[in-house]
A = this chain, B = another copy of it.
């Protein structure tokens, strides 16, 4: 049987699994004292350790041994998304981007947004489970709900936004340079209002197209994430 993997963001500073991960270890997997487990800190490291003690509802783990560690990659991807009405579609996007690898997913409300609030905790759980499943080492930061202005005002990195309306703009693969800190905005299904896309352009966000198919919001988010990985692959 493969070794059970747990998410332990403070692995280096603590010797306990979170309550949720402890529950999973004790109640679901029924692990015992002495068993080897793996910990992911979501910041580039994977550790091997063992279960030192079961203290009530908490799992205490022993000394850590690094089994895998990965320096921060030469590029990073931050996605800014106006969430869809159906939360399920956003969960799916978080899962898929998490599998491909992503550094941040940030939600914002725009004029045409279909949803004005967001359940971050549920999305974080999805991201953690994608992290474990994919064997990636970096957990994306998930934030929101931001205002459109907070996002538009952002400074630094390669700033891009997916634009559906006419006139047609260059595709992502030709608009983005390699090895950048990418900040990419995917608008709502009704697209940005002319005022919003004006504000983005004035704030030095570059428009790009995802091709002639009309993609749903979550599909556009996945396409951006995978496209940037492909662009940066050697």
Chain A residues within CB distance 8 Å of chain B: 92, 96, 99-101, 133-136, 171, 173, 211-216, 219, 222-223, 226-227, 229-230, 233
Contact = CB atoms under 8 A, between A and B. Distances in A.
A63 to B, nearest CB: 27
B230 A173 contact: yes
A211 B223 contact: no
Contacts of A214: 99, 133-135
Contacts of A212: 135
Contacts of A222: 96, 222, 226
Top 8 A-B pairs ranked by shortest CB distance? A134-B213, A99-B219, A135-B214, A134-B214, A99-B215, A136-B213, A96-B219, A226-B226
Nearest to A101: B213
A91 B43 CA distance: 33
Given A92-B92, A213-B135, A213-B136, A100 B223 contact: yes
A183 to B, nearest CB: 20
Contacts of A96: 219, 222
Given A171-B233, A173-B233, A211-B233, 12 more contacts: A92-B92, A99-B213, A100-B213, A100-B223, A101-B213, A133-B214, A133-B216, A135-B212, A136-B213, A173-B230, A222-B226, A226-B227
